Amino acid sequence: MEHDKLFTFDHVKKSPLHSLNFSIKRGENVMLFGPSGAGKSTLLHLFNRLSDPEKGSIYYLGKDLQSYSITELRKQVGLVMQAPNLFPGTVLDNLKYGPSLDGDWNDARAEALLEDVQLPADYIDRSVDQLSGGEQQRVSLARTLANKPSVLLLDEPTSALDQHTTEEIEQVLEGLAVEQGVTLIMVTHHLDQAKRLGSRGIFLSEGEIVEEGNLADLLSNPKTEELQAFMT
Amino acid sequence: MSPEISNQSLLFLVVFVLVPLTLSYYYQLGLSKGIIWSSIRGTIQLFAIGYLLTYLFDLPAYIGIPFMLTIMITVASFHARKKGEGLPSVLGIIFIGLIVIEVSVLGLWLLFDMIEFTPNEVIPMSGMVIGNSMIAMGLALERLKSEFKENEGRLTAALSLGAEPKQASQIIIQRTLGASLIPNVDKLKTIGLVQLPGMMTGLILGGVSPIMAIKYQLVISLSIFSSVSLSAIYITLMMYKYFYNNRMQLKHMEFDQ
C-alpha cells in the first residue's frame, strides 16, 4: 500500500453506504456532496472512527485504521461539525480541551489559534454564550486545530452561517490547506463552495459513489443523470 | 392528643377522598377511577404492612430484619429500574447499590449506638433510607438519559477531540449529580421551618419529647442526605459507560423518555 495514499476505503459498508472503494491522496482537498440521505455524514464519521464499517476495511497511511490508538487518530483526523457544539465555559476552556487531555497545553497558544480563525485575542476569556453563531463556529474550528490535525473533516461547517461569515471561514480553511498542509475532507451542499475549496469531488447518492474525480472536470462535465439533476 | 385513632374515626377519612373526587367530577378530569382505586389500594397496602410489621416485630431480630430489608430492597430495585429502561444490567446494579448503601448506613447507626438492632427501630429507619435512595437513583437515571440525548453533539465533539468516554462524560456527570443533590441541600436548609419532617411528627404524636424527636430526625435526615448523595454518584458512575461501546463510540440507544 503506497504511503502517498492518505486513506483507502476497501469494500466499506456502513448503512446507508454500500460497498465503497476509493482512495484519498495526501494534500487533496476532497469535497463530498450529494442529496440528503446519501450517507455523507456517515462517511465522514468513518474517517476518525466515530463509527466503524459493518464490512470492509479502511487504511490510513497504509495501515488499518483500527490498528491506531483511537484517541490519537481522532486528534490527527480532526472533525468540525455543522453545529459548533461548544462546551460550557470560556473560549479558552474550549481551545485547550483537546491538548489538555494529554496535559499538553500552554495558554500562550490560544492567541495564535484565535488568529488562525480571525478572532481577536481578547476573546480568550469570553463566555461562549456571548458569541454570535459565526464566532462560535470559528471557536469550534480553532478548538479542533488546537490538536494540530493533519486531516480536517468538515461536516457542512458553514451551512448555518451568513454569506459574509461563510467567506471568512472559507479563507481560513484555504489558508490551513495551503500554508499548513492540512488535508480537507468536507461535506457541503453548495457546489460553489466546493469549487472554491476542493481539488477533488465525490458525488454520493443513496449510499453509493455515483461519480468522482477532479472537481473542475466533474462539475463541468457531469456524466450521470443524478449529478446533472443535483447541479440544476 | 390521643395516639389512638378508632376505626370509626378512620371511616371519616372518606371525606378527604371525596374532595378530589368531587373536583374531578365537576371539572371532568376523568380521574375519579384513579382516585378511588389509589385510595383503596393505599389503605389496603398500609394495613397489610401494619400487620406484617406487627408480625415481624415479634420475630427474632436476625430473622425479621434481613427478611424485611430484602423485600424492601427488591421492590425498590424493580421500581427504580423503570427509570433506567433500555440500559443493560440496570436492575442488578441498583440492587447491589441499595444493599451496599443500606448495610453501610445501618452499620454506622449500630456502631455509634444511634439505634438498637431491633425490627421496630431498624425497619422503619431503613425504609426511609432505601426509599429515598430508590428515588435518587431513579432521578439520576432519568437525568442521565436525557443529558446524553440532549448533549449528543457535545459528546461527539469531545470524542472527536480525543477524549475517552469518562473525560467526554464529565459535564454530563457533573450536571446529573448536581440535579440530584441540589433538591436535598435545599430540603435540609428549610427542614423544620416549612414543615415538620414526617418522622419527627410521628414521634411527637406518639408522645416523645420534641428534643428527642429532633435527635432521631437528625439521624435520619443526615443519613438520607448521605445515602441519596451516594446513590446518585454510584448510579451515575456505574451507568454512564453503557452509553458508549468498547470502541469509544456513542451507542445510539433508543430510550423511553
| Number of independent structural domains in chain A | 1
**A98 burial via Cβ count (<10 Å: 0-12, 13-18, 19+):** buried
Does the beta-carbon distance from B156 to A85 stay under 8 Å?
yes
User: Residues of B with CB below 8 A from A52's CB?
Assistant: 247, 249
Q: Measure the N-to-C terminal CA separation of chain A; round to a whole number of Å.
A: 39
Residue A16 has pLDDT above 80, yes or no: yes
Distance CA B245, CA B206 (A): 55
Task: Say which residues have a Cβ less than 8 Å from residue A210's Cβ, sequence separation at least 6.
Answer: A34, A203, A204, A224, A226, A227
C-alpha dist (Å) from residue A200 to A28, A85, A177, B136, B165:
7, 28, 14, 55, 35
Residue A54 has pLDDT above 70, yes or no: yes
Q: What is the pLDDT of residues A180-232, one digit of tens each?
A: 889 999 999 889 999 999 999 999 999 999 999 999 999 999 999 999 999 88
Q: What is the pLDDT of residues A137-171, one digit of tens each?
A: 999 999 999 999 999 999 999 988 888 888 988 99
- Amino acid B257: pLDDT: 38
The residue segments making up the domain with residue A207 are 5-231
Domain of A196: which CATH number? 3.40.50.300
- Amino acid B34: pLDDT: 93
Give which of A208, A196, A182, A226 is closest to A17, Cα–Cα.
Answer: A208
Mutation target vs B (from A52, A70, A137; most B CBs, 10 A cutoff): A70
Distance CA B47, CA A53 (A): 59
Does the beta-carbon distance from A81 to B156 stay under 8 Å?
yes
Q: Report residue B6: phi and psi, to 5°.
A: -75, 160
- Amino acid A159: pLDDT: 86
Distance CA B130, CA B105 (A): 10
- Picking from B153, B154, B161, the nearest residue to A98 by CB comes out as B161
Distance from CA of B157 to the nearest CA of A (A): 7
Distance CA B59, CA B53 (A): 10
- Amino acid B179: pLDDT: 87
A3 pLDDT tier (thresholds 50, 70, 90)? low
Residue A61 has pLDDT above 90, yes or no: yes
**B51 burial via Cβ count (<10 Å: 0-12, 13-18, 19+):** exposed
Does the beta-carbon distance from B157 to A140 stay under 8 Å?
yes
Grid cell 370509626 — which residue?
Answer: B8
Q: Measure the N-to-C terminal CA separation of chain B; round to a whole number of Å.
A: 47
Q: Where are the domains of chain B?
A: 1-58, 59-243
User: Residues of B with CB below 8 A from A50's CB?
Assistant: 156, 159-160, 249-250
Instruction: Determine the number of helices (DSSP H) and then strands (DSSP E) in chain B.
Output: 11, 0
The amino acid that residue B122 corresponds to is V
Distance CA B137, CA B142 (A): 9
Per-residue pLDDT tens digits of chain B, which is 257 residues long: 555 788 888 889 999 999 999 999 999 999 999 999 999 999 999 999 999 989 988 999 999 999 999 999 999 999 999 999 889 999 999 999 999 999 999 999 999 999 999 998 999 999 999 999 999 999 999 999 999 999 999 999 999 999 999 999 998 998 888 888 888 888 888 887 877 788 888 888 889 999 999 998 899 999 999 999 999 999 999 999 999 999 999 997 555 43
Which three cell numbers, joined as nine digits, stand for B231?
446513590
- Picking from A52, A86, A98, the nearest residue to B162 by CB comes out as A98
- Which residues of chain A have a Cβ shorter than 8 Å from any chain B Cβ? 48-52, 70-72, 74-75, 78-79, 81, 83, 85-88, 97-98, 101-102, 140, 143-144, 147
Residue A1 has pLDDT above 60, yes or no: no
Q: Report residue A162: phi and psi, to 5°.
A: -75, 170
- Amino acid A4: pLDDT: 78
Mutation target vs A (from B147, B154, B159, B161; most A CBs, 10 A cutoff): B161
- How many contacts, defined by CB atoms under 8 Å, are there between A and B? 65
Closest-CA residue of chain B to A140: B157
Q: What is the pLDDT of residues A169-183, one digit of tens each?
A: 899 999 999 988 899
Which three cell numbers, joined as nine digits, stand for A42?
456517515
